[in-house]
Amino acid sequence: MLEYIPSISFGKDSTAMLLMMIEHNESIHSVLWFDTEREFPEIRTHAAKVVSDTGVKLQVVRHWAGFDFLEDRYGRPHPSGGWCTAAKRDCCNKYIRLMRKDNPDIVECIGYSADEQKRADKMSKKWPVRFPLIEWGITEKMALEYCYDHGYFFGGIYDWMPSKRVSCYNCPKQGPKDWAAILKHHPELFPYNHTLERTPKSSASQLNRYTPYERR
Ligand code: SF4
């Protein structure tokens, strides 16, 4: 039986993809979300709202030791990609591979927008992948408007984040304007963010590093 697993970050593009798939009555097996434990608070709150509103089955995956461990071991990820993207890809692939053992007709869905055709062309996986937003000609701008029209405002983060890059708050791809915006809106995140030599987290803070989701 054909079923889809949308792989989502809960940013504007993947949120629009999920909402549109639900609107189109697509058969959704589960929604795959990789928890980097470095999401902006706005995105965590938004994710909880989407899951609660839609009733989708959310599957959270995490790296076994976490990004803090990887960063302590390998240093800051390179802006062009590095251990962070590899860890995310490998953990998500593991889940899809496992689910396809139960149902070989499962298709992964990725929220690349119509602006990202080249990125989609480069993707190579061992199973079928769909890019619904590209199929439907939905650009990044249209995706954000769609989310807003459906009552999802991401806590206003897209209004103040210059790059609109709202995944990991300390992503090495952030530019100086992003750092300034993060400092203004989330000063509590900034020292961690912008200090290349991170202060190791205490064991106690590691125990509290993520916010559990309310499961339906
Ligand atoms: S958002 Fe940035 S830091 Fe986070 S996984 Fe992606 S590239 Fe790495």
Q: What is the DSSP string of 116-180?
A: GHHHHHH---SS-EE-HHHHTT--HHHHHHHHHHTT--GGGHHHH-TT---SBTT-TT--HHHHH
CA of residue 167 to ligand 1 center, whole Å: 7
Nearest to 91 by CA among 129, 36, 44, 132: 36
Q: Domain count for the chain, please give it.
A: 1
Residue 148 belongs to a domain? yes
The CB of 84 under 6 Å from ligand 1? The reply is: yes
Q: What is the pLDDT of residues 16-73, one digit of tens each?
A: 999 999 999 999 999 999 999 999 999 999 999 999 999 999 999 999 999 989 999 9
What phi-psi label fits residue 198: left (phi over 0), alpha (psi between -120 and 50 degrees) or beta? Answer: beta
Residue 216 belongs to a domain? no
**What gap in Å lies between CA 16 and CA 148, rounded to an integer?**
10
Residue 180 belongs to a domain? yes
Q: Is the pLDDT of residue 179 over 50?
A: yes
**What gap in Å lies between CA 185 and CA 188, rounded to an integer?**
9
Mean pLDDT to the nearest integer, 196-215: 42
Instruction: Give the model's pLDDT for residue 202.
Output: 45
Residue 29 belongs to a domain? yes
- 10 Å CB burial of residue 49 (0-12, 13-18, 19+) is middle
79 — pLDDT class (breaks 50, 70, 90): confident
**Structural domain of 22:** 3-207
CA of residue 1 to ligand 1 center, whole Å: 33
Residue 214 belongs to a domain? no
What CATH number corresponds to the domain at position 22?
A: 3.40.50.620
189 — pLDDT class (breaks 50, 70, 90): confident
Residue 212 belongs to a domain? no
Q: What is the pLDDT of residues 98-153, one digit of tens each?
A: 999 999 999 999 999 999 999 999 998 999 999 999 999 999 999 999 999 999 99
CA of residue 22 to ligand 1 center, whole Å: 27
